[in-house]
Structure 1
Amino acid sequence: MTMRHLHTPADVGPGTVTLCATSSQRWAHLPVDRILWADEALRDGFLERVRREVGDDDAPVEVIE
């Protein structure tokens, strides 16, 4: 069963988006500057980084704006 948690406005800082990766037992947040996130060439790197934090290369990632 995938761990679930709620997001609040405090999870997203000014000028950022927050990437939330979840695996069966862990979750991780990665704040990313909106300008950098808008550059599609950089997105895969951010997604890989937050997935590494939970130890699952295929973990689903939610973008919180």
Structure 2
Amino acid sequence: MGQGHEHRPGDVAPGMVVLCATRELPGGLQWAHLPVDRRLWSEEDLREGFRVRVRRTVGDAAAPIEVVGGS
């Protein structure tokens, strides 16, 4: 993550992952976070819905997403 927006796995609550979608704007980086229960994230058929939701929040349907705490 650029421009001072960093993630550390220790920042994520136990049993959760956090999706972070980012968008470059003229004034800097905009981001949106979506906490997701790790059990729900493990369901492949649910993942795209979570991705759509966090991208919608950041305002870019093609925004890159980082999964924090997903390992």
Runs of 4+ in 1 over 3 A off after TM superposition: none
Which residue of the partner structure matches residue 68 of structure 2? 64
Identity of aligned residues (%): 57
Change in 2 beyond 3 A, CA 1:64/1:20: same
Which residue of the partner structure matches residue 21 of structure 2? 21
Gaps of 5+ in 2: none
TM-score between both structures, scaled by the size of structure 1: 0.88
Gaps of 5+ in 1: none
Instruction: Flag the structure with larger Rg.
Output: 2
Letter in 2 for 1:13: A
Which residue of the partner structure matches residue 34 of structure 1? 38
Q: Which has the higher strand share?
A: 2
Q: Which has the higher helix share?
A: 1
